[in-house]
């Protein structure tokens, strides 16, 4: 592609479903600023008051020349790639549109059940799908370091995962915290379902050796903080990540979008995008 892709109209057409949401707005900013991307449109839920409003740059307020629509299928049809940070029911529906119209689907929605995820697996037979609980480079590095540390430390080291998010978050533990639990379990060669300890309240009894514990905090406008601690008698190792702004997830999602567009159909994650070792 030539350098001034936007001017020559060769930039990739990226649509954003849920463009009025917290992540949606961050994505609008990153796409509008990106030299190789062109915003092809944005949608919101049918009954949202935002439908019909102008899509503006979240920082500069600049008018994109587009208005928020409610027809997600049309957006998939008119885009090379659609980025989707919405809610599980919407993401399941969107993955059907991606497969039908041959559109790359970048899915960041969390709280998806294994049943919901089947829709992404199905779409991935036809189109590239990048699905990740966390699109930031730093958190994916944390995933890798967590797996590595868990593979080197035995169960004398109690693994505890702590996360904090803003007061509006609706699912808990966060998708990222669960992802960290998966990585820790993989590193240790155990099944997370067998060892995860998600709720502690009242007389819980002593901690079970080998368990992976989760704790959740909610409040303010925290974009996302995660730590994994390995706790043995007399020493603790703590790996942590703090997201200062949602733009880190948006930048990662756009990076994934530009990476995925030339790939064959398949289900990818950020380890694929960033070239991090999977084993």
Other CB atoms within a 10 A radius of the CB of residue 276 amount to 15
Site for ligand NAD contains 43 (CB under 6 A): yes
Among 12, 15, 24, 142, contact with ligand NAD (rule: CB under 6 A): 24
Give yes or no for a contact between 3 and 32, defined as CB atoms under 8 angstroms apart: no
Site for ligand NAD contains 83 (CB under 6 A): no
166 is catalytic: no
266 burial class (0-12, 13-18, 19+ CB within 10 angstroms)? middle
Q: Which is nearer to ligand NAD, 32 or 82 (CB)?
A: 82
Size of the site for ligand NAD (CB under 6 A): 25
Q: Which of 13, 34, 94, 169 is catalytic?
A: 169
Site for ligand NAD contains 259 (CB under 6 A): no
Q: Which is nearer to ligand NAD, 134 or 227 (CB)?
A: 134
Stretch that binds ligand NAD, among 107-115, 179-187, 209-217, 225-233 (CB under 6 A): 107-115
Give yes or no for a contact between 79 and 13, defined as CB atoms under 8 angstroms apart: yes
Q: Which is nearer to ligand NAD, 73 or 197 (CB)?
A: 73
Q: Which is nearer to ligand NAD, 11 or 267 (CB)?
A: 267
Site for ligand NAD contains 74 (CB under 6 A): no
Site for ligand NAD contains 222 (CB under 6 A): no
Among 109, 182, 183, 227, contact with ligand NAD (rule: CB under 6 A): 109
The phi and psi torsions of 69 (rounded to 5 degrees) equal -105, 180
**Minimal distance, residue 219 CB to ligand NAD, in Å:** 15
Distance (Å, rounded) from C-alpha 181 to C-alpha 190? 11
Among 76, 135, 143, 230, contact with ligand NAD (rule: CB under 6 A): 135
Three-state SS annotation for the chain: CCCCCCCCCCCEEEEEECCCCHHHHHHHHHHHHCCCEEEEEEECCCCCCCCCCEEECCCCCCEEEEECECCHHHHHHCCCEEEECCCHHHHHHHHHHHHHHCCEEEECCCCCCHHHHHHHHHHCCCCEEEECCCCCHHHHHHHHHHHHHHHHCCCCCEEEEEEEECCCCCCCCCHHHHHHHHHHHHHHCCCHHHHEECCCCCCCCCCCCCCEEEEEEECCCCCCEEEEEEEECCEEEEEEEECCCCHHHHHHHHHHHHHHCCCCCEEECHHHHHCCCCC
Site for ligand NAD contains 273 (CB under 6 A): no
**Minimal distance, residue 275 CB to ligand NAD, in Å:** 18
Among 14, 39, 106, 132, contact with ligand NAD (rule: CB under 6 A): 132
Q: Which is nearer to ligand NAD, 55 or 132 (CB)?
A: 132
Site for ligand NAD contains 134 (CB under 6 A): yes
Q: Which of 165, 226, 241, 255 is catalytic?
A: 165
Site for ligand NAD contains 95 (CB under 6 A): no
The residues annotated as belonging to the active site are 165, 169
Interface residues with ligand NAD (CB under 6 A) are 17-18, 20-24, 43-45, 48, 72, 85-87, 90, 108-111, 132-135, 249
């Amino acid at each position: 592609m030539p350098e001034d892709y936007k001017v020559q109209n060769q930039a990739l057409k990226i649509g954003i479903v849920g463009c009025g949401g917290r992540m949606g707005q961050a994505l609008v900013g990153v796409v509008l600023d990106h030299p190789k991307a062109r915003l092809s449109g944005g949608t919101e839920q049918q009954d949202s008051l935002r439908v019909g409003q102008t899509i503006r740059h979240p920082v500069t307020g600049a008018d994109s020349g587009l208005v928020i629509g409610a027809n997600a299928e049309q957006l998939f049809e008119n885009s090379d790639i659609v980025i989707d940070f919405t809610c599980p029911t919407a993401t399941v529906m969107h993955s059907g549109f991606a497969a039908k119209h041959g559109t790359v689907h970048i899915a960041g929605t969390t709280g998806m059940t294994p049943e919901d995820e089947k829709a992404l697996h199905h779409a991935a037979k036809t189109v590239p799908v990048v699905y990740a609980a966390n699109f930031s480079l730093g958190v994916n590095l944390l995933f890798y370091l967590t797996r590595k540390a868990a593979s080197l430390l035995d169960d004398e080291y109690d693994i505890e995962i702590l996360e904090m998010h803003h007061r509006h978050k609706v699912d808990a533990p966060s998708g990222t915290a669960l992802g960290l639990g998966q990585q820790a379990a993989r590193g240790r060669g155990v099944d997370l379902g067998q060892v995860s300890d998600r709720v502690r309240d009242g007389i819980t009894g002593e901690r079970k050796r080998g368990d992976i514990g989760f704790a959740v905090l909610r409040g303010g406008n925290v974009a996302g903080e995660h730590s994994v601690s390995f706790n043995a008698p007399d020493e603790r190792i703590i790996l942590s990540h703090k997201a200062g702004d949602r733009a880190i997830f948006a930048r990662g999602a756009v990076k994934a979008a530009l990476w995925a567009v030339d790939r064959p159909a398949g289900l990818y994650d950020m380890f694929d995008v960033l070239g991090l070792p999977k084993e």
